[in-house]
Chains A and B, each alone.
Chain A
């Protein structure tokens, strides 16, 4: 395994990915606006993509980058459906605050 990619150590990139992931998780947990939560989820997905790409480079193996394409495609689809849902809910509730959206519980 090559520990350095283009002069940057792998551990640095993994650290960045970890920070991005944590920010994303924190965003999901503490933000109330559903659009922001979506953005945080994108952040999480991208941090994972970064890890995939990093290892793909470090191991000189194409499979990691392949997975990234799948993740991006799924993320795009999810965003499309998710945003449609958000718009529908907003029309109904006049709000994007998730704390007001708890009527679906049993």
Chain B
């Protein structure tokens, strides 16, 4: 399967072109089937390649060069793929969960007039994302990086006749562009120091470069800014909650499973840079912990079912970056996968609820759905247990690994861990608030509509994702429970070179080894915290007569308005920018620039108007000019002395 591996990338492209060009000419059912197959077949190929690659034994990556793309002097960038443990892992998640989401979309988008366009965009998105993770050089990664930005813009603004959707699309696009500046600068720096943009060559070229070590922090910071944009970290997170304006499968695909994890992927891919940059890593950990906590608190009082999940995603991404900053890349990647499962499940479950209630998204108008839509509510509950971190669901293992690594990270470990555990408490609380209000509370639904379970195309992915959300945690477990370290061994070849470099320079993060009792008590503590969140949510939203009407006073008002961050951005950045633009457009442009250039034109008019008087038509006048001209020339020549 390795020899036909490029098909993994090109099949989604073919799907995009097919559906894109024939969108008006093929029936919906066919477009959906082709769109889904264009992702599912690559999934099968990747599975085969995974088998053939033997990731647990092989250490060197498998390189596939398709064609040379850009060749200028000694700069070369090829359209080539690097198949190793990391890219296979990402590809499996993208194509696996991606094809489930495609299948789900076939049911969810049924009856939508732009059905075929939707599938074309989805395939384009998958194509770009696969380029991003499979590329063997930074240029092609950047192509994918920009490509997912574009596709997310297209998908978020899918219902472009709604102004909110169109604006959300633009917001995502622009905030991502801000981050991408970091990517370009970082790429430039790496080329300057490493003389190449291919990951493998960079890895060898930067080996033993004393000079680069001094700049590693800056380069890492640039790439982190890029990751901030894609992975919605403070301060560039505001696009993700708004991006919920897109159709629900889009939210599941882009904002849970794939695109937002690109930042995490990038950091792991460039681990040999980040491992040399301890200060930047600490900064990343702080940003990650802050984001996790901050977004979790916002999630508490939101009423839009998808917005709650969106803030939850931001918060969980914060956890991943906490792991990245703590230089425990395995923990971050582990959480990336478990999160992909349970968050895709939750989003799709929310979509199923929305579908059942005829596009109702406000949880105040829901309630008592448990039992009415059995599969949806049961799988949603499993997803909630996973994200809240209950033993032995997947979220427990991955989140605990992150918290443990944060706890042992340098001298700030305890602070980071505390922020993480508080965020975990809020996560449990808002997720169970959602569950109690939507599935168990008083029925506030509009009873005119009959509530029905979704078709099999939608419930089947839910079931598969639920199985994943429950079970994938067993890939990596702590010492006191089974002590499985599959992932750590799996990722060792990808990270070994970086660790080697870092230990040479002496910047490797000190992870104090934990006594097993401490590890056990940390885990017990986090389960206890999650349980308290559950019980608190139960008392507030179930026992006390379902106080859906929440008063928004004092701090709760600030929370409800998401700390007014959008308003602050609007006030601090957008308005001054608009003011400046208007100033330039209406004052500088019209009053100064336009006047300047208009006057140049006018002055030629005036000069010409004066000159045309010389052209009188009288022969005598012309003769006089000749004489005067000759006289002047003579005077000049005489004065100069011939």
**A interface with B by C-beta (< 8 Å):** 25, 28-30, 32, 34, 37, 98-99, 101-106
Measured CB to CB, the nearest residue on chain A to B630 is A25
Per-residue interface assignment for chain B, residues 582 to 620, with 1 indicating a CB less than 8 Å from any chain A CB and 0 otherwise: 000000000000000000000000000000100111111
Q: Is the CB of A104 within 8 A of B617?
A: yes
Q: Is the CB of B623 within 8 A of A102?
A: no
Q: Is the CB of B616 within 8 A of A29?
A: no
- Listed residue (B617, B624, B627) with the most chain A CB atoms within 10 angstroms of its CB: B617
Query: In the assembled complex, how far is the CB of residue B635 from the closest CB belonging to chain A, in whole angstroms?
Result: 16
Measured CB to CB, the nearest residue on chain A to B615 is A105
Q: Is the CB of B624 within 8 A of A98?
A: no
Query: In the assembled complex, how far is the CB of residue B370 from the closest CB belonging to chain A, in whole angstroms?
Result: 92
Query: In the assembled complex, how far is the CB of residue B247 from the closest CB belonging to chain A, in whole angstroms?
Result: 68
Q: Is the CB of B617 within 8 A of A103?
A: yes
Contacts A28-B620, A98-B618, A105-B617 known; list 12 others, CB within 8 Å: A29-B620, A29-B623, A29-B624, A29-B627, A32-B620, A37-B619, A98-B619, A98-B620, A99-B618, A99-B620, A101-B617, A103-B617
- Top 10 nearest A-B pairs (CB, nearest first) are A102-B617, A105-B617, A98-B619, A28-B623, A105-B615, A102-B618, A29-B623, A29-B624, A25-B627, A29-B620
Q: Is the CB of B615 within 8 A of A30?
A: no
- Give the complex CA separation of A103 and B617 in angstroms: 7
- Chain B: interface size category: 10 to 19
CB-CB under 8 A from B618, the residues of chain A are 98-99, 102
Query: In the assembled complex, how far is the CB of residue B634 from the closest CB belonging to chain A, in whole angstroms?
Result: 12
CB-CB under 8 A from A25, the residues of chain B are 627
Query: In the assembled complex, how far is the CB of residue B171 from the closest CB belonging to chain A, in whole angstroms?
Result: 60
Do most interface residues of chain B lie in helix, strand or loop, or is the interface mixed?
helix
CB-CB under 8 A from B624, the residues of chain A are 29
Measured CB to CB, the nearest residue on chain B to A25 is B627
Give the A-B contact count at a CB cut-off of 8 A: 28
- Give the complex CA separation of A32 and B619 in angstroms: 9
| Interface set, chain B 538-588, CB cutoff 8 A to A | none
Query: In the assembled complex, how far is the CB of residue B346 from the closest CB belonging to chain A, in whole angstroms?
Result: 81
5 pairs of residues in contact across A and B, judged by CB atoms under 8 Å = A29-B627, A30-B620, A98-B618, A102-B618, A106-B612
CB-CB under 8 A from B623, the residues of chain A are 28-29
Query: In the assembled complex, how far is the CB of residue A32 from the closest CB belonging to chain B, in whole angstroms?
Result: 8
- Give the complex CA separation of A29 and B620 in angstroms: 5
Measured CB to CB, the nearest residue on chain B to A104 is B617
Q: Is the CB of A106 within 8 A of B619?
A: no
- Give the complex CA separation of A30 and B618 in angstroms: 12
CB-CB under 8 A from A106, the residues of chain B are 612, 615
CB-CB under 8 A from B620, the residues of chain A are 28-30, 32, 98-99
Measured CB to CB, the nearest residue on chain A to B623 is A28
Query: In the assembled complex, how far is the CB of residue A31 from the closest CB belonging to chain B, in whole angstroms?
Result: 8
**B interface with A by C-beta (< 8 Å):** 612, 615-620, 623-624, 627
CB-CB under 8 A from A32, the residues of chain B are 620
- Give the complex CA separation of A106 and B608 in angstroms: 13
CB-CB under 8 A from A105, the residues of chain B are 615-617
Query: In the assembled complex, how far is the CB of residue A43 from the closest CB belonging to chain B, in whole angstroms?
Result: 14
CB-CB under 8 A from B619, the residues of chain A are 34, 37, 98, 101
- Give the complex CA separation of A25 and B634 in angstroms: 15
Query: In the assembled complex, how far is the CB of residue A36 from the closest CB belonging to chain B, in whole angstroms?
Result: 12
- Give the complex CA separation of A104 and B623 in angstroms: 16
Measured CB to CB, the nearest residue on chain B to A26 is B627
Query: In the assembled complex, how far is the CB of residue B44 from the closest CB belonging to chain A, in whole angstroms?
Result: 81
Query: In the assembled complex, how far is the CB of residue B626 from the closest CB belonging to chain A, in whole angstroms?
Result: 9
Query: In the assembled complex, how far is the CB of residue B629 from the closest CB belonging to chain A, in whole angstroms?
Result: 13
Measured CB to CB, the nearest residue on chain B to A31 is B620
- Listed residue (B612, B616, B623, B627) with the most chain A CB atoms within 10 angstroms of its CB: B623
CB-CB under 8 A from A99, the residues of chain B are 618, 620
- Give the complex CA separation of A101 and B612 in angstroms: 18
- Give the complex CA separation of A101 and B627 in angstroms: 21
Query: In the assembled complex, how far is the CB of residue A106 from the closest CB belonging to chain B, in whole angstroms?
Result: 6
Query: In the assembled complex, how far is the CB of residue A38 from the closest CB belonging to chain B, in whole angstroms?
Result: 11
Query: In the assembled complex, how far is the CB of residue B303 from the closest CB belonging to chain A, in whole angstroms?
Result: 77
- Listed residue (A29, A32, A106) with the most chain B CB atoms within 10 angstroms of its CB: A29
- Give the complex CA separation of A75 and B620 in angstroms: 20
- Give the complex CA separation of A105 and B620 in angstroms: 13
- Give the complex CA separation of A106 and B614 in angstroms: 11
- Give the complex CA separation of A77 and B619 in angstroms: 21
- Give the complex CA separation of A32 and B618 in angstroms: 10
- Give the complex CA separation of A101 and B620 in angstroms: 11
- Give the complex CA separation of A47 and B196 in angstroms: 83
- Give the complex CA separation of A77 and B277 in angstroms: 94
- Give the complex CA separation of A104 and B619 in angstroms: 11
Measured CB to CB, the nearest residue on chain B to A98 is B619
- Give the complex CA separation of A30 and B624 in angstroms: 10
- Give the complex CA separation of A30 and B620 in angstroms: 7
Query: In the assembled complex, how far is the CB of residue B337 from the closest CB belonging to chain A, in whole angstroms?
Result: 82
CB-CB under 8 A from A29, the residues of chain B are 620, 623-624, 627
Query: In the assembled complex, how far is the CB of residue A39 from the closest CB belonging to chain B, in whole angstroms?
Result: 14
- Give the complex CA separation of A99 and B622 in angstroms: 12
Query: In the assembled complex, how far is the CB of residue B103 from the closest CB belonging to chain A, in whole angstroms?
Result: 78
CB-CB under 8 A from A101, the residues of chain B are 617, 619
Query: In the assembled complex, how far is the CB of residue A68 from the closest CB belonging to chain B, in whole angstroms?
Result: 21
Query: In the assembled complex, how far is the CB of residue B620 from the closest CB belonging to chain A, in whole angstroms?
Result: 6
Q: Is the CB of A102 within 8 A of B612?
A: no
Q: Is the CB of A102 within 8 A of B616?
A: yes
- Give the complex CA separation of A89 and B624 in angstroms: 22
- Give the complex CA separation of A99 and B619 in angstroms: 8
CB-CB under 8 A from B612, the residues of chain A are 106
- Give the complex CA separation of A73 and B362 in angstroms: 105
Query: In the assembled complex, how far is the CB of residue A63 from the closest CB belonging to chain B, in whole angstroms?
Result: 21
- Give the complex CA separation of A104 and B618 in angstroms: 9
CB-CB under 8 A from A34, the residues of chain B are 619
CB-CB under 8 A from B617, the residues of chain A are 101-105
- Give the complex CA separation of A11 and B615 in angstroms: 39
CB-CB under 8 A from B616, the residues of chain A are 102, 105
- Give the complex CA separation of A16 and B627 in angstroms: 19
Query: In the assembled complex, how far is the CB of residue A98 from the closest CB belonging to chain B, in whole angstroms?
Result: 5
- Listed residue (A28, A104, A106) with the most chain B CB atoms within 10 angstroms of its CB: A28
Query: In the assembled complex, how far is the CB of residue A47 from the closest CB belonging to chain B, in whole angstroms?
Result: 14
Query: In the assembled complex, how far is the CB of residue B393 from the closest CB belonging to chain A, in whole angstroms?
Result: 91
- Give the complex CA separation of A30 and B621 in angstroms: 10
